[in-house]
A and B are shown apart, each in its own frame.
Chain A
Amino acid sequence: MKISTSVKNILEIDLEKKTYQIRARSDLQDILGGIGLSLKLYSEFASEKPLILSVGPLNGFFPFASKTSVLFGVKNKIYDYYIGGSLSSRIKFANIDAIVFLGRSKNDVFIEIQNQEVNFLDYGVDFESQGLPGKRSYLEFKTNKYLLDNFFRFSGSEADSILHYKKILGIVISGTFNFNLPDPVEYDRLYKEILQKYQRLTVEKGDFPSCSGCPMGCAKSNIGEKEGSLLAHSLVGCLYAQNLFNNHDLIISCLNVLGYGYTHEDIEKYLQTLYNLKKDYIFE
């Protein structure tokens, strides 16, 4: 299938009613993704205490674009986290840009997402057998914390608290779409050019489980991130690869090869809009 460059696909999940809908929104086209998309959606759904997972246009497609934006609000403060693992690529390969969890479930619930279909599973289900092997990522409450892919976690306990409050015991997401690109040769060249820049990352190689699309296996991969550059967290890249994600020429080339028509001016305008939007909120 072709990449949806002209719309953002938003999956809205109502936890109380156990219903969901997917909306293809062309009005969000100017927003790159990640923190920008999450914050815009938060402004629309604030009264329903949303928990928002979002990705950017490069997740799944380029190395080091390996995080997922996790945004929610508690007592007038916005919490803005980034988690690694394979979640962002699965969301992307499900052809989803953001998942908005609205309200609170009445009972403990496991949520299974396969592409744009959602199943609500009761407590007691064999959660780890859900989803498609090799194409899934799962976030699960284990002992006293939430773990993604059995290893990765959030950088603060507030994310665990909001999931617990919403009575979400686990989320498994499988993405089965394959994407065709307009210029696969140029894409392959650019992909390898970026991969070869791993020495510019501000983290050492290690022998730990790695995030999807990152060769590093670094000691910090499982901790998650909090603050960072607006552009890197819109794309939603790894904080330790900020040097790469702040290179506008490189990013424009990546976006263009995927079929996005963003220009330097668009990126600058978007960052200014995001900066102004952020000023309306208090970030923790």
Chain B
Amino acid sequence: MAKKILKATFENRCNGCELCVLEAQRQLKRVGLTDAPIRILRDTSKSSVYFHVDIEGDINNLNIKEIVKVCPTAVFEILEEEDEDIYIG
């Protein structure tokens, strides 16, 4: 059976709004940044502003369609991955 995985395929589009972080936290019934399954990290090594989207594996236990939907710059996509645990070769 294929498992749905959230991926920040278009990370370069991220504008740092953190709506994805807050959406994930709301699904976990809390507001804040600690233990968030997504983190937005600012890359300060360059003169312009870039963002890195750091995703924890347990994000996929949440409603990831809502996380895709809340992003204003379409950073995310949902990929399908074969679940190795039930694969019979």
Residue numbers of A with Cβ under 8 A of B are 60-61, 63, 86, 89, 93, 128, 133-135, 149-151, 175-181, 184, 187-188, 191, 195, 205, 207-217
| CB atoms of B72 and A217 under 8 A apart | yes
Q: What residues of chain B lie closer than 8 Å to A151, measured between beta carbons?
A: 49
| CB atoms of B31 and A181 under 8 A apart | yes
| CB atoms of B31 and A134 under 8 A apart | no
Q: A133-B41, A134-B39, A195-B70 are in contact. Are A209 and B16 (CB under 8 A)?
A: yes
- Nearest Cβ distance between residue B81 and chain A, in whole angstroms? 25
| CB atoms of B31 and A61 under 8 A apart | yes
**Complexed CA–CA distance, A212 and B29 (Å):** 19
Contacts beyond the supplied A215-B19, A216-B72: 14 A-B pairs with Cβ under 8 Å: A86-B16, A128-B44, A149-B42, A150-B44, A176-B33, A176-B34, A177-B34, A179-B32, A180-B30, A187-B31, A210-B72, A213-B17, A213-B19, A215-B15
Taking CB atoms and an 8 Å cut-off, the chain B residues in 32-65 that contact chain A are 32-36, 39-42, 44, 49, 51, 54
Q: What residues of chain B lie closer than 8 Å to A208, measured between beta carbons?
A: 15
**Complexed CA–CA distance, A231 and B18 (Å):** 25
**Complexed CA–CA distance, A150 and B50 (Å):** 10
- Nearest Cβ distance between residue B84 and chain A, in whole angstroms? 30
| CB atoms of A93 and B26 under 8 A apart | no
| CB atoms of B17 and A217 under 8 A apart | yes
Q: A184-B26, A188-B26 are in contact. Are A207 and B15 (CB under 8 A)?
A: yes
Chain A-chain B contacts (Cβ-Cβ < 8 Å), number: 87
For B18, B31, B41, the residue with the greatest tally of chain A CB atoms inside 10 Å of its CB is: B31
Q: What residues of chain A lie closer than 8 Å to B31, measured between beta carbons?
A: 60-61, 178-179, 181, 187
Give 12 A-B contacts (CB < 8 Å), ordered by A residue: A61-B31, A63-B19, A133-B39, A134-B33, A149-B42, A150-B49, A151-B49, A176-B33, A178-B34, A178-B35, A210-B72, A215-B15
Q: What residues of chain A lie closer than 8 Å to B17, measured between beta carbons?
A: 210-215, 217
* CB contact between A135 and one of B33, B70, B72 (< 8 Å): that residue: B33
Q: What residues of chain B lie closer than 8 Å to A212, measured between beta carbons?
A: 16-18
| CB atoms of A135 and B34 under 8 A apart | yes
| CB atoms of A210 and B15 under 8 A apart | yes
Name which residue of chain A comes closest to B38, CB basis: A134
Name which residue of chain B comes closest to A133, CB basis: B41
For A60, A61, A180, A212, the residue with the greatest tally of chain B CB atoms inside 10 Å of its CB is: A212
* CB contact between A180 and one of B29, B44, B49, B51 (< 8 Å): that residue: B29
Q: What residues of chain B lie closer than 8 Å to A181, measured between beta carbons?
A: 29, 31
Q: What residues of chain A lie closer than 8 Å to B41, measured between beta carbons?
A: 133-134
Q: What residues of chain B lie closer than 8 Å to A211, measured between beta carbons?
A: 17
| CB atoms of A213 and B18 under 8 A apart | yes
- Nearest Cβ distance between residue B31 and chain A, in whole angstroms? 5
Q: What residues of chain B lie closer than 8 Å to A60, measured between beta carbons?
A: 31-32
Q: What residues of chain B lie closer than 8 Å to A63, measured between beta carbons?
A: 19
**Complexed CA–CA distance, A89 and B22 (Å):** 11
Q: What residues of chain A lie closer than 8 Å to B70, measured between beta carbons?
A: 195
Q: What residues of chain B lie closer than 8 Å to A150, measured between beta carbons?
A: 42, 44, 49
Name which residue of chain B comes closest to A258, CB basis: B31
Is B73 part of the binding interface, using a Cβ–Cβ cutoff of 8 Å?
Answer: yes
* CB contact between B33 and one of A175, A184, A216 (< 8 Å): that residue: A175
Q: What residues of chain B lie closer than 8 Å to A133, measured between beta carbons?
A: 39, 41
**Complexed CA–CA distance, A177 and B30 (Å):** 10
